[in-house]
Amino acid sequence: MIQNSILESIGKTPLVRLRKVTENIKATVAAKVEYLNPGQSVKDRIAIKMIDDAEEKGLIKPGGTIIEGTSGNTGMGLALVAAVRGYNCIFTTTDKQSKEKVDLLRALGAEVKVCPTNVEPDDPESYYSVAKRLSEEIPNSYYPNQYENLSNTQAHYETTGPEIWEQTDGKITHYACGMGTGGTISGTAKYLKEQNPEIKVIGIDSVGSVYKHYFETGEFSKDEIKPYKTEGIGEDIIPANVDFDLIDEVIQVNDRQAFLMTRDLSKREGLFVGGSCGAAVSGALEYARQTELKSSDLMVIILPDSGTRYISKIYNDEWMRENNYID
């Protein structure tokens, strides 16, 4: 079958059993390999959904400009949609994101503005604030705002959840996912729990993020916010797309754990993935060992993106040594 555009190839990614990094775990552990989307990340799913919904509501017109704050992957998905449908793109990102992500966005014709990481979310220089300001200044522009736009959650409710349920023949017992904007974990969890309320949902957070403390106490504490290098998960805000009522446990993973597992997945499983994937697997396996999952259990872990974004960082021995992640 000939597809009408690259956008029709989004979704229907495979589940792959993890065999070598799962020592002493009795359960079946499978990874949903989202880097096999055309934009090499899970964010392709929300990009097309947000633009579809915006077009339907008349929020963006032909020849318009998509403006978004992104850690890179949502921007990549939006850039693909823009290329096919004739929109312009301006993306804001932070200076902690890999050079590869910025170069990829520019290769697709997007304008990229790099903003400081270590500022308050409401600071005029933050990547959130700059994106919002540009959307107000530029005519015929649309600011999807993946953090607050519930089309993000809906995309996963409509696609990722049903795919996992079908691929596991309804036998999934545990679902693990990194917590970034919240759409992937919440939309997928909502669908899965509607099919079987007993399914446990494990959110993976970064040390330095607010999510775990907020989940456990209901309090937003700025004291929890600290610098960390894992890209794409953890936050210093609570986005509208995070539904904590659907989450049963939150596990925090530090940068070193995340990056060593990322390299293990490549070398031992043949899965060439990004740092948030290593974090998700590391946290999920920690949960599996703590709770002593049984042989009858089936855990699915989302692998959000590709290692191609991190050649100069996680897969660079010199960078890893400089940051004391390897000897």
pLDDT tens-place string over residues 170-191? 999 999 999 999 999 999 999 9
User: How many CB atoms within 10 Å of residue 12?
Assistant: 11
Q: What is the pLDDT of residue 133?
A: 96
Which structure tokens are listed for 78?
């939006």
pLDDT of residue 97: 87
The CA distance from 217 to 213, in Å, is 6
Q: What CA–CA distance (Å, rounded) separates 40 from 306?
A: 6
Which percentage of the chain shows pLDDT scores above 90? 95
Q: What is the pLDDT of residue 222?
A: 93
CB contact set of 322 (below 8 Å; sequence gap of 6+): none
The answer to whether 7 touches 48, Cβ cutoff 8 Å, is yes
> Choosing from 20, 32, 43, 57, which is the catalytic residue?
43
| pLDDT classification of 215: cutoffs 50, 70, 90 | very high
Tens-digit pLDDT profile for residues 33-50: 999 999 999 999 999 999
Q: Which helix (H) or strand (E) holds 178?
A: strand 174-178
pLDDT band at 71 (very low <50, low <70, confident <90, very high): confident
Domains, the chain, in order of start with CATH, read 6-42+150-322 (3.40.50.1100), 43-142 (3.40.50.1100)
Are 316 and 263 a contacting pair, CB within 8 Å? no
Q: How far is residue 326's CA from residue 157's CA, in Å, rounded to a whole number?
A: 39
For the chain, what percent of residues have pLDDT higher than 70? 100
121 pLDDT more than 90: no
Residue 177 is predicted with a pLDDT of 98
Helix axes 151-158, 160-167, angle to 10 degrees: 20
Residue 43 among the catalytic residues? yes
pLDDT, tens digit, 9 for 90 and up, residues 278-326: 999 999 999 999 999 999 999 999 999 999 999 999 999 999 999 999 9
Q: In this predicted model, what pLDDT tens digit does every residue of 124-175 receive, in sequence order?
A: 999 999 999 999 999 999 999 999 999 999 999 999 999 999 999 999 999 9
Q: Which two tokens stand for residue 184?
A: 């992937």
Q: How far apart are CA 279 and CA 96, in angstroms?
A: 17
pLDDT tens readout for residues 5-15? 999 999 999 99
Q: State residue 96's pLDDT score.
A: 87
Integer Cα distance of 207 and 133 in angstroms: 30
Q: How far apart are CA 243 and CA 220, in angstroms?
A: 15
**What are the residues facing 90 on neighbouring strands?**
67, 111
**CA 47 distance to own-chain centroid:** 12
Residue indicated by tokens 């520019």: 106
Identity (one letter) of the amino acid at 36? L
